[in-house]
Amino acid sequence: MANTESSINPFETAKQQIDIVADLIGINDGTREVLKHPKRELTVNFPVRMDDGSYRVFTGHRVQYNMARGPCKGGIRYHPQVSLDEVRALAAWMTWKCAVVNIPYGGAKGGVICDPKHMSKGELERLTRRYTSEISSIIGPEMDIPAPDVYTDSQTMSWIMDTYSMQKGYSVPGVVTGKPLSLGGSEGRGEATGRGCAYVIRESAKDLGLRVKNGTVAIQGFGNAGSVAANILAEEQGAKIVAVSDSKGGIYKADGFNPRAVEEHKRKTGSVVGFPGAKAISNEEVLETQADILIPAALENQITKKNADKIRAKIVAEAANGPTLPEADTVLFQKKITVLPDILANAGGVTVSYFEWAQDIQGFFWPLAEVNNRLERVMVQSYNDVHKVATERKVHNRTAAYVLAIQRVVDAIRIRGIYP
């Protein structure tokens, strides 16, 4: 995926993070090596018949990073800049994310190098079905369960489910998550990331003695994760959403927006920009807004050495993956800003994916209230677990989340032992 700092190899970053934690908690060299290698990688080159009758060969990857704690879980992305190292890094991060929220999964990720914006629905369907077929020997409800990621959605998951099921000869809904309800999707999955983020914000605010009710919130990226977090913070916790943005720009209103009305405006016009009664602001200004809570919910690498000093929020809750660069982390920590790191703050999505899989393999489906109650329990527990490590070790929450996650994976590796 496009990285604004293209010189950064994400897998090198992922390995450095492992070393930092390994030093901190004293992981031996052998285990460290295990943690720094993906368990299994499959690269496939496969032809797809295009609409004009020609054939094109596409390259896809599926990386299963670590399955010590259970079957692997992770999305599939379609993007021209997919690379094996990016997929490896994302698979490692999925491993830690699943471990932070203590769901019984390892981590995986997949990607196909393609430009979905310039492909027809038919071409995407044929690409998806052939890629599924190529990786079908290593996916499955007991082995590796894909999900949507950048430029893949519930339709893509339906094609994967159908292709895998056709090969088996019976329906296997548990092979992927993020499916529509009609195919064994879960209630609440669409809202899960934003909802989970709102729960950890609430818990963190309690610890900090900060009132979310009438507190102010700024959100960069008013898409799925950002808009749902806005709705829940406003409607269930009484917060004032004072600034939001999307790729076209930002808007500000000191006494707060009705986020549902902003959503409606965006649905009608394609952007939050131009919302009646709002002041237009830039995307940078959204990040630097005077607000109690800042939610980066758009892209990676948004809070950098350059702007970290200008962040004025008390809590930064990372709904997006990787919005804060490491050098900015240090600045935020020094400014005593509480960062709720991505592997905790946006883990509501994978948690409800886990619920979807659990429902599929039982063939027994839960009502929305049950999904949300269970999600709340997982997020509150995970927040408390991270906070405890941060307090005990006097480290910031990101390090604490990695310590917690990597320790859980190491415990599983150790107790299982090395085969044979």
Contacting residues toward ligand NAD, per CB under 6 A: 193, 220-226, 245-247, 283, 297-299, 319-321, 346, 349
Give the residue with the Cβ less far from ligand NAD, 15 or 97.
Answer: 97
Of residues 214 and 269, the one with the C-beta less far from ligand NAD: 269
Of 245 and 397, the one with the shorter C-beta distance to ligand NAD is 245
Least distance to ligand NAD from the beta carbon of 193, Å?
A: 4
Strand partners, 317: 340
Min dist. Cβ of residue 225 to ligand NAD (A): 4
> Does the active-site annotation cover 248?
no
Q: Give the residue closest to ligand NAD by C-beta.
A: 223
Nearer to ligand NAD, 124 or 225 (CB): 225
Shortest separation between residue 301's beta carbon and ligand NAD, angstroms: 10
| Separation of CA 176 from chain center | 16
How many CB atoms within 10 Å of residue 47? Answer: 13
Q: Which C-beta is closer to ligand NAD: that of 297 or that of 410?
A: 297
Least distance to ligand NAD, CB of residue 418, Å? 33
Nearest-approach distance from CB 311 to ligand NAD, in angstroms: 15
Q: Which one is catalytic: 15, 73, 97, 109?
A: 109
Question: In the complex, what is the shortest distance from the CB of residue 272 to ligand NAD, in angstroms, rounded to a whole number?
Answer: 8
Nearer to ligand NAD, 165 or 301 (CB): 301
Interaxial angle between packed helices 224-237 and 192-208, expressed in degrees from 0 to 180 and rounded to the nearest 10 = 50
- Largest Cα separation within the chain, whole Å, is 67
Q: Which residues are annotated as catalytic?
A: 109
